[in-house]
Amino acid sequence: MARRKLDADLAEKILDEVMRETAQGGTGHVSTLKIAAKLGISEPTVFLRYKSKQILMDAAFSLAWQRFNHLPGYAVVRSKAQAVSFEDFRPVFQDKLIHRKEVIYLHHYLASIYYHHDFVKQVRQEYFARLDETILSLYGPLPTEPVHMIEECFLKAEIDNLSYFADRLYPASEDNLRLLFSALKGFFWAPLEDLARSSALK
């Protein structure tokens, strides 16, 4: 049991170093040799746990996604719908920005050569299922394909914009977060409203 815990701890430390390396210079900056040196292990030990660089980068994405907490956002949107305010959503942004290196890693991975569509789809399956439920509760049945396109675009915009704050390109000030909220709210609700209207006319 103790050995398994040590192995799990080391595996997570390796993934944390992948995220830190990415935050310093993008996914191309990730070096398994440097990671091994930082952790005081050999490079083959890294590949003993992650058989290839692709598997390593995918595993880091999975862990970053797990820490990038989505659950509070669903509850807020579902309970308040379009009446949701910045004050309602501020804690959601603050919680996500605690995980600075995770936000930056998600941003870089999704635009990198390591992006693996089927794997990412599987990791994010629960997220989209919950978002589907939220949209269904607010609008009733809507065409699946355009709903998923709206969800994908919204998620990409959220991660990309939060990464600017996480990477300290812009300060995460109250005013800046409020602007981000306004932009994302419009990005999400406006196309859903259009889709609901066009679906009702058919």
**pLDDT (mean) for 46-68:** 95
Q: What is the mean pLDDT of residues 135-144?
A: 91
**pLDDT confidence of residue 83:** 82
Q: What does the pLDDT look like over 80-125, one tens digit per residue?
A: 777 888 998 888 898 899 999 999 999 999 999 999 889 999 999 9
The reply to whether 35 and 75 lie within a common domain is no
- Residue 36 in domain: yes
Q: What is the pTM of this model?
A: 0.90
Which range marks the domain in which residue 8 is found?
A: 2-52
Same domain, 167 and 105: yes
| Domain co-membership, 33 together with 113 | no
CA distance 27 to 32: 12
How many CA atoms are closer than 13 Å to the CA of 128, on its beta-carbon side? Answer: 18
Q: In this structure, what is the dihedral angle of CA atoms 149, 63, 80, 147, given to the nearest 10 degrees? A: 10
What is the band of 202 on the pLDDT scale with cuts at 50, 70, 90? low
pLDDT at 2: 44
Residues 86 and 36 in one domain: no
pLDDT at 4: 53
pLDDT of 1 > 70? The answer is no
Write down the pLDDT at residue 72: 64
User: Number of folded domains in the chain?
Assistant: 2
**Does residue 24 sit in the same domain as residue 81?**
no
Average pLDDT over every residue of 125-149:
90
Q: What is the CA radius of gyration of the chain?
A: 19
Cα 171 from chain centre:
20
pLDDT band of residue 71 (cuts 50, 70, 90) is low
At residue 74, the pLDDT reads 66
Q: What is the pLDDT of residue 92?
A: 87
Distance CA 177, CA 93 (A): 8
* Cα 178 to Cα 57, 94, 150, 182, distances in angstroms: 33, 12, 21, 6
Give per-residue pLDDT as tens, 159-179. Answer: 999 999 999 999 999 999 999
Residue 133 falls inside a structural domain = yes
Question: Is the same domain home to 83 and 137?
Answer: yes
Query: What 3-state DSSP class applies to 202?
Result: coil
Q: How far apart are CA 9 and CA 194, in angstroms?
A: 48
| 27-53: average pLDDT | 95
Does 41 fall in a domain? yes
d(C-alpha 143, C-alpha 62), whole Å:
29
Shared domain check, 89 and 185: yes
Q: Is 31 helix (H, G, I), strand (E, B) or coil?
A: coil
Task: Please indicate, yes or no, whether residues 47 and 79 belong to a single structural domain of this protein.
Answer: no
For the ranges 13-17, 116-120, 140-144, the maximum mean pLDDT occurs at: 13-17
Question: What whole-number distance in Å separates Cα of residue 26 and Cα of residue 39?
Answer: 20
Query: Average pLDDT over the chain, rounded to whole?
Result: 90
Q: Is the pLDDT of residue 146 over 90?
A: yes
Section 142-153 average pLDDT: 92
As a whole number, mean pLDDT of residues 5-33 equals 91
